[in-house]
Structure 1
Amino acid sequence: MNNVARHVIRAAVFAAALGAAAAHAASIKISCVAVGQELEFCKATAEAWAKKTGNEVQVVTPPNDASERLALYQQVLSAGSDKIDVLQVDVIWPGLLGNHLLDLKPYTKGVEKDHFEGFIANNTNNGRLVAMPWFTNAGLLFYRKDLLQKHGQTVPVTWEDLSASAKKIQDAERAAGNDKMWGYVWQGRAYEGLTCDALEWVASYGGGSIVEPDGKVSIRNANAAKALQMAASWVGTISPTAVLNYAEEEARGVFQAGNAVYMRNWPYAWSLAQSDDSVIRGKVGVAVLPKGGADGRHAATLGGESLAVSKYSKHPAAAADLVMHMTSAAVQKDRALRGSFNPTIGALYQDPEILKANPFMGELYGTFTNAIARPTTVTGPRYNQVSNQFWNAAHEVLSGRSRPNDALMRLEGALNRLSRGGKWQ
């Protein structure tokens, strides 16, 4: 055989090998939300997996608004579409989307036992593990350490303390020339974020969980009304009227620009506040959210995100492998160090590097493990309607269009109709 023939055969063998590799390579479409640094981190981790495995990834950016993102997912999944292989899902969605998601148990090799037990239970639908926990969340109070010290204030224990402290510092700073200063910023838009904030207020005053575990609608009570009235008193006084259209990033924008004393947000805001280009770097403290009066409790809504695989994916094994990579201990540690994303793996809360980068993760560990859940389990597929009714009622009170008692009476009626006599499922 001459050299030319050998080259031809080698080329043919090489081409065949390439063809086989191409045939086995998968192109996985993953949805990555763009709140804060999420998109950047998600994209980089997915691309690292693709490089390691020889597959391809395409990043799809869904709406940041959780309600809009859920609607998009429901539309895509209901159509049986393979437009998205890996979905970033909110902690409240496994029950809503579970029937459309792949059981990941055959792909986990048992690592789910390393994650918070409650989160794994949350992601289990009819015995199927439909999502792997990625990061956990709980509402936190961020505050300007320098401004509290300057004006002789301590970290507020109750919402009444916060209202007084925020007003005092806001007025003093404005008198000194900063007319953009506000006392408190939070999430007041009519969306799922307001459900999180308002549930914290209601629970902190002992006003229940909207719908109790036994299915009873409990939201119409004096403590819930008191909580909403307190929050409404902030609008236009210590909070800008524009807060009624704030989501997480709008609140963070005001706080990180140095124009707010206090902020309610999720842990991701910490690393951004501490970034090199942040004007408040080194000036921020983090604490538990205030109690509802002296007899109240500290209450933080449980949040967090998981990764799931659509059962309509053409490459389920590759998609599941990507999910296992992105939710691994190594990736969760990297995200905690660089982006202050709270891990869902308990052992990482003992990691000295993580605790040095995010002191609050150790100090407020109980806040994350004891966070209050939204009533997703009891209301099942109707949760989204329940939340929609709740956030709209809260928004009516905050905007001054309704009194608390009237709004809660209408909300109670709407939820009782939804429950069909307490039978949610």
Structure 2
Amino acid sequence: MKQRSHDRRGVLSAALVTVGVLALTSCASGTSAPAASSDAAELTGRGPITYVSSPDASGAAQQSIDAWNAEHPDELVDWIELPLDADQQRQQMVQNAQVKGEAYTVLNLDVVWTSEFAANRWITALPEDALPLDAEIPATVEAARYRDTLYAAPYYTDAALLYSRTDLMQAAGVTAPPQTWAELQKACDAVLALPEAADMSCYAGQFDKNEGLTVNFSEAVNSAGGSLFNADGEPTVDTPEALTALNFLVDGFESGMIPEAAITFQEEQGRQSFLDGNLVFLRNWPYVYASFSATDGSSAVQDKFGTSPIPGETGPGVSTLGGRNIAISSYAENKATALDFIAFFTGQEQQGDRLAVSSRAPVFSEFFADDAVTERLPYLPDLLTSLEKAQPRPKVVQYGATTAAIQDAIYPALTGDTSPEEALADLQKALVGIAAE
């Protein structure tokens, strides 16, 4: 690959090592994980396996599975497609693990679930020499470990981007993407005054009562200078910074800056709304870039949009570190096949092939310094900026209870059923109770 900037890649590695270390500070200290050596010895058996994942609208994952199946007719991979909703995905995987089900082999896990699944012995430790970890972004590798043991393979990484209608911004005299929430509102006011923007709304993220709300709320708090937990793992949500963040979201719904319909938005609903030309700004992940750029007539914003880091209270915001890991269920058969498939599926060659049809961010740092890749995916420099500042969600063993508490407290504030102050006080109490369990 043609290298553009070794110094830039060094900044990425150093910054993301820090993010990876931060991601581990909230792990519960009282839970022991299974020994790596005993788990690795269980990686035996060959034959058909299943890949358990949410839908992939790009078709990129199916392309990789088809390539594997063509070469391994006796070890075919069958895709078990889970719901789009992240909480439902986790719930079905947890239920399968709790009954020690053999139906699920290879699991596509949100990075923040990895510690929970490892601590509960629901996934099997992986031998590090089976994967090209040295070539991958350090934070993605750390997010796949629990207590210094590798339990998954990094699949793709994520940080939030702000998608902007650059054509309308130019027409309204807005010369740069907003870096603060105040600039976001000012840009919207200018754009929505245009006749051609009469039926549009300003801004949306993911505010449905699911994992996306946890992510968007976390980003708002971090972008206002606050945090959900401190370095000692203690909840810190009943603070002036968190109140500023929640007020930004609540006021956005009340004023109409955020459309009423966005209270039901997950990633796909927001993607479709921006794709159809209904939004000026959208907070979403890199994967939506490909559909916005489609030249087949399906995109109303093709050649009319740009990307930038998300805005914050006083300057560029702080994204949540996202992404996915691929792991092996502890109760699956044919784990030797599963390990080989994971090495193939998450390998650099397949990630390169998938970049041709998907805009999901790769975990190999080399792609970020490849001129051919960044020319085709010009969002990568903005993503790099977001990754350098990204913060993890609380990486706690009881993550399910933690994210549910966040959603239960914050959603009623967005709908106007409770005040921001009451919501944060309730959330602080709930998180303290979870931490004490």
> Separation in 2 of the partners of 1:358 and 1:229?
34
2:360 to 324, 338, 341: 341
Name the aligned partner's letter for residue 179 of structure 2.
V
More displaced stretch, 362-371 vs 212-221:
362-371
Contact 1:104 1:131 in 2 (8 A): yes
Residue 27 in 1 paired to residue 48 in 2? yes
2:327 match: secondary structure: strand
Task: Give the % identical residues.
Answer: 26
- Residue 337 of structure 2 corresponds to 318
Instruction: State the aligned residue count.
Output: 386
| Cα pair distance change 1:36/1:179, threshold 3 Å | farther
Contact 2:161 2:383 in 1 (8 A): no
Post-superposition offset of 1:179: 4.6
Post-superposition offset of 1:363: 4.2
Residue 53 in 1 paired to residue 72 in 2? yes
> Separation in 1 of the partners of 2:53 and 2:353?
17
- Residue 410 of structure 1 corresponds to 426
Post-superposition offset of 1:53: 2.3
> Separation in 1 of the partners of 2:131 and 2:273?
43
2:412 to 396, 402, 407: 396
Post-superposition offset of 1:178: 5.2
> Separation in 2 of the partners of 1:363 and 1:128?
31
> Separation in 2 of the partners of 1:245 and 1:413?
26
- Residue 281 of structure 1 corresponds to 302
CA deviations on 1:296-315 (whole Å, 9 max, x unpaired) are 55211110011111121210
Contact 2:159 2:383 in 1 (8 A): no
1:338 match: secondary structure: coil
Q: Residues 329-368 of structure 1: matches in 2 within 5 Å? A: 329-368=348-387
> Separation in 2 of the partners of 1:42 and 1:85?
16
Post-superposition offset of 1:321: 0.7
Contact 2:113 2:399 in 1 (8 A): no
CA deviations on 1:320-374 (whole Å, 9 max, x unpaired) are 1111111000111122232111011111211222111111213441312431101
- Residue 225 of structure 1 corresponds to 243
Contact 1:36 1:249 in 2 (8 A): no
CA deviations on 1:95-120 (whole Å, 9 max, x unpaired) are 111111122216x4351121122221
2:155 to 123, 134, 151: 134
Contact 1:134 1:327 in 2 (8 A): yes
| Cα pair distance change 1:363/1:141, threshold 3 Å | closer
- Residue 40 of structure 2 corresponds to none
Residue 301 in 1 paired to residue 320 in 2? yes
Contact 2:213 2:407 in 1 (8 A): yes
- Residue 42 of structure 2 corresponds to none
1:235 match: secondary structure: helix
- Residue 214 of structure 1 corresponds to 232
> Separation in 1 of the partners of 2:355 and 2:63?
15
Post-superposition offset of 1:128: 2.8
Contact 1:163 1:234 in 2 (8 A): no
CA deviations on 1:244-263 (whole Å, 9 max, x unpaired) are 11100111111100111000
> Separation in 1 of the partners of 2:108 and 2:130?
21
> Separation in 1 of the partners of 2:95 and 2:383?
38
Contact 1:35 1:64 in 2 (8 A): no
With normalisation by structure 2, the TM-score equals 0.85
CA deviations on 1:27-49 (whole Å, 9 max, x unpaired) are 11112321532xx2212211211
With normalisation by structure 1, the TM-score equals 0.87
> Separation in 2 of the partners of 1:116 and 1:177?
43
1:161 to 168, 172, 183: 183
- Residue 93 of structure 1 corresponds to 113
| Cα pair distance change 1:65/1:334, threshold 3 Å | same
- Residue 6 of structure 1 corresponds to none
- Residue 271 of structure 2 corresponds to 252
1:87 match: secondary structure: strand
CA deviations on 1:191-229 (whole Å, 9 max, x unpaired) are 110111111111111122x11220221111111111111
1:103 to 125, 148, 156: 125
Contact 1:32 1:61 in 2 (8 A): yes
| Cα pair distance change 1:102/1:72, threshold 3 Å | same
Post-superposition offset of 1:133: 0.4
More displaced stretch, 59-68 vs 49-58:
49-58
Structure showing greater relative contact order (alpha-carbon pairs closer than 8 Å, 6 or more residues apart): 2
Post-superposition offset of 1:418: 1.3
2:355 match: secondary structure: helix
